[in-house]
A and B are shown apart, each in its own frame.
Chain A
Amino acid sequence: DGGITQSPKYLFRKEGQNVTLSCEQNLNHDAMYWYRQDPGQGLRLIYYSQIVNDFQKGDIAEGYSVSREKKESFPLTVTSAQKNPTAFYLCASGQGGYNEQFFGPGTRLTVL
């Protein structure tokens, strides 16, 4: 393991607060992705970025925001507009397109 890291492993926040999840990679990958994993629903794509300073909405982008100012970093902000933020969040990176994606260990966010 290593190469792509997510922090923290567990995160607790009060309802109504924005929270930012970190994702860093040192694999020199152009593309990075954020997924949400809920029981019985698999992985759902939140946002993805194929190159620095550019990103696209995935299937469930509402209530989330991202930035891609550096190749190595793709932070995800869960805003107060996200109606059901408690979930497991996975970050991935890859060479882009349909090349293999490498996943981080995940962050479990609990909103109290």
Chain B
Amino acid sequence: AQRVTQPEKLLSVFKGAPVELKCNYSYSGSPELFWYVQYSRQRLQLLLRHISRESIKGFTADLNKGETSFHLKKPFAQEEDSAMYYCALGAGRRALTFGSGTRLQVQP
């Protein structure tokens, strides 16, 4: 069965520090991976997907099939990055499997 693991419930960093939100998945085939974000008092929304290979709001994520990971990275955190981040896996069925989420807190 598909599974997504986000090991950190909370990640707290200072403004300007690098950020890495971890995501590991379990699936033996070729998955599609996504990061969704929920800012305070806003709806959950797509941040980026691995097949786009683009940087959104300074965030990037590389799919590592060998390590079954899709970590989200940003070199310099901003206060407006504070939000709840969910990693999601598309595999085996026409629906996503979400992780438990990591709350990113960027302190001034």
- In the complex, which of the residues A35, A40, A104 contacts B100, with contact meaning CB atoms closer than 8 Å? A40
A110 and B36 CA atoms in complex are apart in Å by 26
**B99 surroundings in chain A (CB, below 8 A):** 42
Chain A-chain B contacts (Cβ-Cβ < 8 Å), number: 51
**B93 surroundings in chain A (CB, below 8 A):** 56
In the bound complex, do residue B94 and residue A97 qualify as a contact, i.e. CB atoms below 8 Å apart? yes
In the bound complex, do residue B98 and residue A44 qualify as a contact, i.e. CB atoms below 8 Å apart? yes
In the complex, whether A10 has a CB less than 8 A from a CB of chain B is no
In the bound complex, do residue B94 and residue A42 qualify as a contact, i.e. CB atoms below 8 Å apart? no
**A40 surroundings in chain B (CB, below 8 A):** 9, 100
**B9 surroundings in chain A (CB, below 8 A):** 40
**B101 surroundings in chain A (CB, below 8 A):** 42-43
Known: A40-B100, A45-B96, A101-B96. 9 other contacts (CB 8 A): A43-B98, A48-B94, A92-B44, A97-B90, A97-B94, A98-B32, A100-B46, A101-B36, A101-B46
8 shortest interchain CB distances as A-B pairs = A98-B90, A42-B100, A43-B98, A103-B44, A48-B95, A98-B32, A100-B46, A42-B101
Sample 6 A-B pairs with CB under 8 A, ordered by A number: A33-B95, A45-B95, A48-B95, A50-B94, A101-B36, A101-B46
